[in-house]
């Protein structure tokens, strides 16, 4: 008997200005959790409309093109905490990851890893904050080191040290 995905029966909002990315996200989730509902928005304005109309269990935000950080700020300001995953291709930088963390995102996923979207989202919903962020950092470490050098954390060393301490305390 197949294992039921934790995404089953969840209402998920995916926001991206690239229609093909939204289709991949929708299809990946639908295949793993046919009973889930995936709403999509191709713009900031549409995302805000949907957020005003529905209660979501999970939100996936592109950073560029749809003002993902502005949406994240609005979601983080609510009394009900909704896990938010930042999804990016063009903003795959230490600065964007840091801003995602500071604004309250639950995780950060490069678009090149869309093929692993479902297990990643399942981890976000089932594992603790620290555990998920440790995995994200491990995945991005090589990319960041290759692009910005082994000392990519150096410009904001205090932030990264504090964050590492925080996620090591939070299982």
CATH class of 11-127: alpha beta
Alpha-carbon 129 to chain mean position:
12
| Whether 15 contacts 71, CB under 8 Å | yes
Give the bridge partners for 12, in sequence order.
38, 58
Mean pLDDT over 136-152 rounds to: 82
Backbone angles phi, psi at 128, to 5 degrees: -70, 160
The token pair that represents 49 in the structure block: 């409309």
Mean per-residue pLDDT over the chain, rounded: 89
Mean pLDDT over 38-42 rounds to: 97
- H or E stretch at 96: helix 94-103
Q: How confident is the model at residue 171 (pLDDT cuts 50, 70, 90)?
A: low
Domain extents in the chain = 11-127
> Which pLDDT belongs to residue 2?
60
| Whether 155 contacts 96, CB under 8 Å | no
Q: How confident is the model at residue 79 (pLDDT cuts 50, 70, 90)?
A: low
């Amino acid at each position: 008997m197949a294992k039921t995905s934790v995404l089953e029966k969840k209402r998920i909002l995916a926001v991206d200005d690239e229609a093909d990315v939204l289709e991949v996200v929708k299809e990946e989730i639908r295949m793993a959790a046919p009973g889930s509902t995936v709403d999509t928005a191709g713009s900031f304005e549409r995302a805000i409309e949907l957020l005003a109309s529905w209660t979501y269990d999970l939100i996936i935000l592109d950073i560029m093109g749809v003002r993902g950080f502005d949406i994240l700020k609005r979601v983080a300001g609510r009394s009900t905490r909704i896990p938010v995953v930042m999804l990016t291709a063009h903003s795959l930088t230490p600065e964007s990851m840091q801003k995602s963390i500071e604004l309250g995102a639950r995780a950060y996923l490069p678009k090149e890893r869309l093929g692993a979207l479902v297990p990643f989202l399942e981890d976000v919903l089932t594992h603790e904050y620290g555990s998920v962020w440790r995995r994200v950092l491990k995945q991005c470490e090589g990319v960041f080191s290759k692009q910005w050098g082994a000392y990519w954390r150096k410009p904001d060393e205090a932030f990264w040290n504090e964050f590492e301490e925080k996620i090591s305390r939070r299982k």
